[in-house]
Amino acid sequence: MTWLVTGGAGYIGAHVVRALINAGMSAVIVDDLSSGLLPFVPDGVPLVRTTILHTDTLTQVMKDHHITGVIHVAGFKYAGVSVRRPLHTYQQNVAGTISVLEAMLRCGIDQVVFSSSAAVYGTPDIEQVTENTPKDPQSPYGESKLIGEWLLHDQGIATGLRHTSLRYFNVVGSGDPAVHDTSPHNLFPLVFDALVSGRTPQINGDNYPTPDGTNVRDYVHVSDIAAAHVAAARRLEAAESIEPAYNLGSGDGLSVAEIMTAIATVTGIPFTPMIGPRRPGDPPRIVASGELAARDLDWRMRHSVEEMVRSAWEARIRAEKETPQ
């Protein structure tokens, strides 16, 4: 069995590829390297550099490599930027998913794991998000991920496609020092950038109705996310029952202040975060139940907050050393 990983040269996709290899499964990568990096690709794993919008090329890749299933990670992932670039977001995430599904249909491939997002829920004002929490995406990015889930559902009805969608929350850490989070919008890279450049990191609001006044969010280690993809792929291969979607959340969450404290401890760079204004529409708490994923995908939090920070920091420092000055 060989799995095609779209976006397999990106931060999350590269970890999924490594998890497949470690599980004794074969992987092939399709990535246009618009945000992925060639050094993230493990030795010996075939990489085809192309956009997922090229359906004919995808079809040929699937045929040439005898692909039996697809883990679809590729996409435009920046929720905030998607508000300014909705057409680009829909092209990459909706038209791109249609292209992947069309190529699969042409090749008779009937199993797919889809990289979805907590953004499909918007900003729910509840203690804990479950898979049945009403969907209310607040950005073109969130909308595009929800549409992706609908596409899989409808294709399942039409063709018998077997599928599941994994809804990520805040993915952090590194499972390989050679792979780091390159997003200019995620919390860890933003804080690391500030520390490396001698600036003081900022917290947006400290008067929320939470234990320490800062936002509480679900932070999950990228290796745990990758392991869930492998478990889902194996479940599909075995023709076992599978839910249409799973939350990959901690059930508890961590506050931004707790993250800042852990970063100061791990990096050895003491700092007191500056307090900025609240961001409009930012809810006090978004935490998800991972019970369904724990039941079916061996999902669990295998890393402490310090381990999440340390792995991310070590990968970042290695990247700094390897970047030509």
Question: For residue range 265-275, what is the model confidence (pLDDT) as tens digits?
Answer: 999 999 999 99
Flag whether pLDDT at 325 surpasses 60.
no
Element spanning 211, H or E: none
pLDDT at position 189 is 93
The CATH class for the domain spanning 2-172+219-248 reads alpha beta
Q: Is 141 a catalytic residue?
A: yes
Which tens digits make up the pLDDT trace of 97-106?
999 999 999 9
Q: Which of 90, 121, 141, 168 is catalytic?
A: 141
CA distances from 124 to 136, 205, 238, 279, 288 (A): 8, 19, 35, 16, 11
Shared fold status for 2-172+219-248 and 187-217+251-288+302-322: no
The model's pTM is 0.95
Give the closest residue to 1 by CA, choosing from 28, 37, 41.
Answer: 28
pLDDT at 322 over 80: no
Q: How far apart are CA 52 and CA 103, in angstroms?
A: 10
| Residue 283 predicted with pLDDT over 90 | no
What was the pLDDT predicted at 43? Answer: 94
Query: Which is higher by pLDDT, 79 or 222?
Result: 222
Q: Which fold has domain 187-217+251-288+302-322?
A: UDP-galactose 4-epimerase; domain 1 (3.90.25)
* 92: pLDDT strictly greater than 70: yes
Residue pair 276/205 in contact by the 8 Å Cβ criterion: yes
Residue 278's pLDDT band (cuts 50, 70, 90): confident
| Centroid of chain to Cα 6 | 12
Across-strand partners of 2? 26
Note the pLDDT of residue 79: 87
Q: Picking from 60-64, 195-199, 317-321, which range would have the lowest pLDDT averaged per residue?
A: 317-321
List the domain boundaries for the chain: 2-172+219-248, 187-217+251-288+302-322
Dihedral (CA of 53, 59, 61, 62) sign = positive
Cα distance between residue 23 and residue 171, in whole Å: 21
* Count of residues in the chain: 325
CA atoms within a 13 Å half-sphere pointing along the CA-CB vector of 227: 18
Is 90 exceeded by the pLDDT of residue 145? Answer: yes
Tell me the pLDDT band of 4, cut-offs 50, 70 and 90: very high
Least confident of 82-86, 118-122, 125-129: 125-129
In the chain, the largest separation of any two C-alpha atoms, in whole Å, equals 57
